[in-house]
C-alpha cells in the first residue's frame, strides 16, 4: 500500500522529467520531487535520461548526488558531503523520515538518545514529533514510551530504494538465509522422522501387549473350563453311585426283612 502510494506521488515528476532538458530544469525538478509530500521512492526518477545527464554538468551534478541520497542514503550521508545543495525545511524533514526507516529495521526497540544522535535532533519533543509524523505517514508502526525514553517499532514500510552496490551484499545475505532455512528444514524433517518412528514403535508395543493379554485371557479361560468340567463329571458319577448303592441296600435289606418276616409268620400260623 505505501509503495503504491509513493509511486503514484512520483508519477507527475516522471512526466515532467521528459521536458526537463536543461540541467537547471532537471535540478529544479529534483528539488520539487524531494520536497513533495508522499514521495519516498526515487529510483525511477533517477533512471530518466535528463536526470542522468546531470552527471555531465559541473554546476548541477550535486543535485543528482542529492537525489541518490534521498533514494538510498541517510542524514549521515548528507552530512558527510559538504558540496551538496542546502536543504529546505521540507527536504530536511523528508530525509530524516527516510533515515528513520533503516534505523527502525536494525533495532526493534530504539532509545531516545540513540535516535537523537543519529538524526541530530535537539530535543525529545522534536524526536517525538518526527516519530508521530512517520507513524501517521504509514512509514512505521511504533509506540512511544517517554517514561523509559524508548521507541518500540513493530514494522517499517519497504520504501527505500536499493543502492547499486547493495545487490552483492543482499545476495550474500539471502544465500546465508537460504542455507539456514535448509539446515532448519533438514533438522525439522529429522525430528518428524523420529516422532513417526516413535509412534510406530509405540503402536507395535501396544499391539504386542494386546496379543499377549488375549493369549493370557484365552489360556486362563481354557484352564478354568477344563477344571470345571472335571469337577462336575466326577461329582455326578459319585452321586449316582451313592444313590444306587443306597437304594439297592435299602431294597435288599427290605426284601430280606420282608422275606424273613413272612416265613416266620407262616410257620407260626402253621
pLDDT at position 259 over 60: no
Stronger pLDDT, 268 or 220, i.e. the higher one: 220
pLDDT at position 166 over 80: no
Q: pLDDT class for 220, splitting at 50, 70, 90?
A: confident
pLDDT at position 174 over 60: yes
Q: How far apart are CA 61 and CA 23, in angstroms?
A: 9
CA distances from 131 to 75, 87, 150, 236 (A): 15, 20, 11, 104
Lowest mean pLDDT among 79-83, 170-174, 228-232: 228-232
C-alpha cell at 127: 524526536
pLDDT at position 150 over 90: yes
CATH 2.40.160.50 fits 2-162, yes or no: no
Q: Is 138 left (phi over 0), alpha (psi -120 to 50) or beta?
A: left
Strands of the 150-156 sheet, one edge to the other: 109-111, 150-156, 140-145
pLDDT at position 262 over 70: no
CA distances from 104 to 33, 49, 76, 99 (A): 24, 33, 15, 9
Q: Kindly report the CA angle at 248 between 247 and 254, in degrees rounded to 5?
A: 90
pLDDT at position 267 over 60: no
pLDDT at position 266 over 60: no
State pLDDT tens for residues 73-120.
999 999 999 899 999 999 999 999 999 999 988 776 799 999 999 999
Amino acid at each position: 500500500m505505501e509503495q503504491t502510494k509513493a509511486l503514484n506521488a512520483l508519477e507527475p515528476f516522471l512526466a515532467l522529467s521528459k521536458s526537463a532538458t536543461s540541467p537547471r530544469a532537471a535540478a529544479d525538478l529534483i528539488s520539487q520531487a524531494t520536497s513533495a509530500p508522499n514521495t519516498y521512492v526515487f529510483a525511477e526518477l533517477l533512471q530518466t535520461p535528463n536526470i542522468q545527464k546531470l552527471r555531465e554538468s559541473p554546476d548541477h551534478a550535486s543535485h543528482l548526488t542529492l537525489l541518490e541520497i534521498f533514494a538510498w542514503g541517510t542524514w549521515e550521508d548528507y552530512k558527510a558531503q559538504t558540496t551538496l545543495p542546502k536543504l529546505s525545511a521540507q527536504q530536511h524533514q523528508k530525509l530524516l523520515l527516510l533515515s528513520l526507516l533503516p534505523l527502525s529495521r536494525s533495532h526493534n526497540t530504539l532509545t531516545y538518545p540513540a535516535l537523537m544522535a543519529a538524526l541530530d535532533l535537539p530535543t525529545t519533543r522534536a524526536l517525538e514529533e518526527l516519530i508521530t509524523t512517520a507513524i501517521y505517514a504509514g512509514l512505521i508502526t511504533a509506540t512511544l514510551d517517554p517514561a523509559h525514553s524508548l521507541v518500540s517499532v513493530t514494522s517499517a514500510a519497504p520504501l527505500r530504494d536499493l543502492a547499486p552496490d547493495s545487490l552483492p551484499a543482499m545476495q550474500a545475505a539471502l544465500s546465508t538465509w537460504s542455507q539456514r532455512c535448509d539446515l532448519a528444514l533438514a533438522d525439522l524433517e529429522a525430528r518428524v522422522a523420529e516422532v513417526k518412528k516413535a509412534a510406530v514403535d509405540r503402536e507395535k508395543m501396544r499391539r504386542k501387549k494386546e496379543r499377549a493379554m488375549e493369549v493370557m485371557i484365552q489360556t486362563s479361560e481354557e484352564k478354568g473350563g477344563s477344571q470345571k468340567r472335571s469337577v462336575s463329571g466326577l461329582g455326578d458319577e459319585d452321586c449316582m453311585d451313592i444313590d444306587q448303592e443306597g437304594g439297592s441296600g435299602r431294597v435288599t435289606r427290605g426284601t430280606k426283612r420282608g422275606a424273613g418276616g413272612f416265613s416266620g409268620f407262616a410257620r407260626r400260623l402253621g
